[in-house]
């Protein structure tokens, strides 16, 4: 398995000044180089499996996604990751809702082979031929009520938030293809929930979402991303956002927050075209993202 490395500096004085005791221990002190001590949390991340029984199209090898995901699961089991999260577009669409549910059950069966906690983030393709409720009924988020499409959980002193941007401008949920994939929104009710959840968080926060939050224009971005970012930034607790959807992947930093967009698993044929990552969060505020195969390796540290 190959990885590529790049180093970025986490210079977030505003985060340190506003976070207070809620984030003490995770984001205070000199960067240790992400490895001087054991990580607080180690988790796996994968995105855009797009599994379906269909011929390859525009570089997407749909049928190979079960094998690629099995490789990811085996790696995470061997690493002893605390949990594994997939960032949306878990499956693609069939000719009928019944066939589409079958694809979902097949890829979920592979995902279930991970021995730890498992989490899903909804993507636009997860409701391309079925309803949001049908998707949720056929997957499991460990310890989360089945009907919840956005939620939060805590692991070893870190707070995690999974957002759902699969809503139209009027707040109507995406449902059985009743949407424009280029117009994703996080509705006001969810933003209010997010603000309340972050306010209650007693630990540093990492956010998961499918569509991108780190810009305001373009087909792959959440249309009201600026509004969501303001909530994340004001909290003084959010360390990083992990995203999918943009198959080529990318990395940006805005207002001290890291935005890591993972490359899509579905793109390209064979194991060498797989893409997944393991993330280690350290007590000094640094994150080490180790990309496997095509995924990018980054070391995200706090500047002095």
User: Model confidence at 302, in pLDDT bands (50, 70, 90)?
Assistant: low
Q: What's the pLDDT at 205?
A: 95
User: Model confidence at 44, in pLDDT bands (50, 70, 90)?
Assistant: very high
The pTM score is 0.89
Residue 176 Cα to chain centre, angstroms? 22
Reply yes or no on whether the pLDDT at 180 is more than 70: yes
Higher pLDDT pick, 100 / 33: 100
Q: What's the pLDDT at 303?
A: 40
Burial of 248 (0-12, 13-18, 19+ CB in 10 A): exposed
Beta carbons within 8 Å of 256's beta carbon, 6+ residues apart: 10, 11, 12, 13, 14, 15, 233
Reply yes or no on whether the pLDDT at 85 is more than 60: yes
Contact present, 207 and 161 (Cβ < 8 Å): yes
Say how many CA atoms lie within 13 Å of 261 toward its Cβ. 19
Helix 97-111 crosses helix 65-79 at what angle (to 10 degrees)? Answer: 30
Beta strands at 83-86 and 41-46: parallel, antiparallel or unpaired: parallel
Calculate the average pLDDT of the chain: 89
Q: What's the pLDDT at 191?
A: 98
Range of the domain at 153: 4-302
Q: Residues in the chain, how many?
A: 304
Number of structural domains in the chain? 1
Q: Mind listing the pLDDT tens digit for each residue in 141-163?
A: 999 999 999 999 999 999 999 99
CATH of the domain at 12: 3.60.21.10
User: Model confidence at 24, in pLDDT bands (50, 70, 90)?
Assistant: very low
User: Model confidence at 1, in pLDDT bands (50, 70, 90)?
Assistant: low
Q: What's the pLDDT at 285?
A: 76
Contact present, 6 and 44 (Cβ < 8 Å): no
Q: Mind listing the pLDDT tens digit for each residue in 48-60?
A: 999 999 999 999 9
């Amino acid at each position: 398995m190959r990885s590529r490395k790049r180093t970025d500096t986490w210079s977030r004085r505003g985060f340190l000044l506003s976070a207070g005791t809620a984030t003490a221990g995770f984001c205070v002190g000199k960067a240790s180089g992400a490895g001087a001590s054991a990580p607080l949390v180690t988790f796996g991340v994968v995105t855009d499996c797009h599994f379906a029984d269909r011929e390859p199209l525009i570089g997407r090898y749909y049928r190979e996604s079960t094998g690629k995901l099995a490789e990811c699961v085996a790696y995470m089991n061997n690493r002893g990751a605390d949990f594994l999260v997939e960032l949306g577009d878990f499956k693609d669409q069939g000719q009928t809702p019944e066939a589409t549910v079958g694809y979902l059950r097949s890829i979920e069966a592979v995902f279930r082979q991970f021995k730890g906690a498992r989490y899903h983030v909804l993507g636009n393709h997860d409701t391309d031929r079925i309803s949001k409720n049908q998707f949720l009924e056929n997957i499991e988020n460990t310890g989360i009520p089945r009907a919840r499409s956005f939620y939060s959980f805590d692991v070893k002193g870190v707070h995690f938030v999974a957002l759902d941007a699969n809503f139209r401008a009027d707040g109507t949920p995406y449902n059985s293809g009743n949407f424009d994939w280029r117009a994703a929104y996080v509705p006001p009710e969810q933003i209010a929930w997010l603000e309340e959840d972050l306010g209650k968080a007693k630990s540093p926060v990492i956010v998961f979402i499918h569509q991108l939050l780190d810009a305001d224009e373009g087909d792959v971005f959440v249309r009201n991303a600026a509004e969501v970012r303001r909530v994340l930034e004001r909290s003084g607790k959010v360390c990083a956002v992990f995203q999918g959807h943009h198959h080529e992947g990318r990395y940006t930093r805005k207002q001290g927050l890291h935005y890591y967009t993972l490359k899509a698993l579905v793109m390209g044929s064979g194991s060498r075209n797989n893409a997944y990552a393991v993330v280690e969060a350290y007590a000094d505020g640094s994150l080490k993202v180790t990309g496997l195969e095509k995924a990018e390796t980054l070391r995200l540290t706090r500047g002095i």
